[in-house]
């Protein structure tokens, strides 16, 4: 049995597998230590290979079997005990392992009401989150020097005292945190500009960028509650980027 300990946000996961290849793939993606930690383990994850197909389509399913919850995609399956203390992750390949563990962590933090993971997002040095749509991610990163091109997901802890940003759950940057000051959603437009969003509009638009399992009604309910709390204490803005200016700069 191969074993390591993963540190994600404020949480510790004990990761186990019988496969040396799977363990090597896992340690390439996530910040971890081999030796036992003095910190309490929040969840034990057993990783297995040989499941699924290459496609990894967005189609998904969920089932409740006795004491287990099962979340399924084409290239991975997550089986979680109802206590959320132990889980099994069955994967097809390294990409499925990366996606599956990310999905497992999002299920975990949503279940506990701890926070939210935003996809297609970048954390800047001023405590803001910049969320992009389509191919804007690379363009915004080129235009804004303080953004880290390696970060494509942002972890946010939500509490009564405020929101805290963890730049990513990949690598050691997941241990870096700072207060969240603002949220920017970038979109293509024929003119540049910026508007402040109402709490309702911000919630609706942010929901498209949250990593969670929408087939689970309980997950959706908890996610919306956390988003309401987030937009109530964090100003959100819609930022428009002129497509013609971007195109001319990229081709000049």
pLDDT in tens, 28-73: 888 777 777 788 999 999 999 988 776 655 555 667 667 888 988 8
**b/e per residue, 118-140, with b = 16+ CB within 10 A?**
bebbbbbeeebbbbbeeebbebb
Retrieve residue 32's tokens: 């971890």
Strand partners, 208: none
What single-letter DSSP state applies at residue 170?
Answer: S
The answer to whether 190 and 245 are in contact (CB under 8 A) is no
Retrieve residue 181's tokens: 């000051």
Query: How many Cβ atoms are within 10 Å of 193's Cβ, its own excluded?
Result: 10
The answer to whether 157 and 9 are in contact (CB under 8 A) is yes
What is the per-residue pLDDT for 199? 97
Q: Residue ranges of the alpha helices (H) in 112-198?
A: 136-143
Positions of the chain with pLDDT lower than 50, given as ranges: 137-138, 141-151, 173-174, 246-248, 250-252
What is the per-residue pLDDT for 136? 55
- How far apart CA 203 and CA 215 sit, in angstroms, is 19
What is the per-residue pLDDT for 211? 86
Length of the chain: 252
Q: Residue ranges of the alpha helices (H) in 153-210?
A: 199-207
Q: Counting Cβ atoms within 10 Å, is residue 224 exposed (0-12), middle (13-18) or buried (19+)?
A: middle
- How far apart CA 183 and CA 196 sit, in angstroms, is 10
Retrieve residue 124's tokens: 């800047």
Choose among 1, 35, 28, 6: nearest CA to 17.
1
**b/e per residue, 20-32, with b = 16+ CB within 10 A?**
eebbebbbebbbb
Strand partners, 54: none
């Amino acid at each position: 049995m191969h074993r390591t300990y993963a540190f994600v946000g404020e949480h510790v996961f004990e990761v186990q597998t019988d496969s040396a290849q799977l363990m090597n793939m896992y340690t390439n993606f996530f910040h971890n230590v081999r030796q036992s930690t003095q910190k309490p383990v929040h969840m034990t994850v057993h990783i297995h290979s040989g499941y699924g197909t290459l496609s990894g389509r967005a189609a998904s399913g969920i089932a409740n079997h006795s004491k287990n919850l099962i979340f399924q995609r084409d290239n991975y399956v997550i089986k979680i005990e109802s206590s959320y203390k132990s889980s099994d992750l069955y994967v097809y390949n390294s990409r499925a392992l990366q996606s599956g563990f990310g999905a497992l962590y999002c299920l975990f933090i949503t279940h506990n009401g701890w926070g939210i993971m935003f996809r297609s997002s970048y954390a800047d040095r001023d405590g803001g989150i910049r969320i992009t749509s389509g191919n804007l991610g690379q363009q915004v990163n080129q235009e804004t020097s303080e953004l880290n091109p390696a970060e494509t997901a942002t972890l946010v802890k939500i509490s009564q005292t405020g929101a805290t940003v963890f730049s990513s759950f990949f690598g050691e940057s997941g241990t870096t945190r700072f207060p969240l000051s603002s949220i920017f959603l970038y979109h293509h437009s024929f003119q540049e500009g910026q508007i402040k969003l109402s709490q309702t509009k911000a919630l609706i638009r942010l929901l498209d960028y949250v990593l969670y399992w929408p087939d689970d009604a309980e997950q959706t309910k908890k996610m919306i509650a956390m988003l309401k709390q987030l937009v109530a204490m964090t100003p959100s803005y819609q930022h428009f980027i002129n497509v013609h200016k971007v195109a001319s700069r990229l081709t000049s």
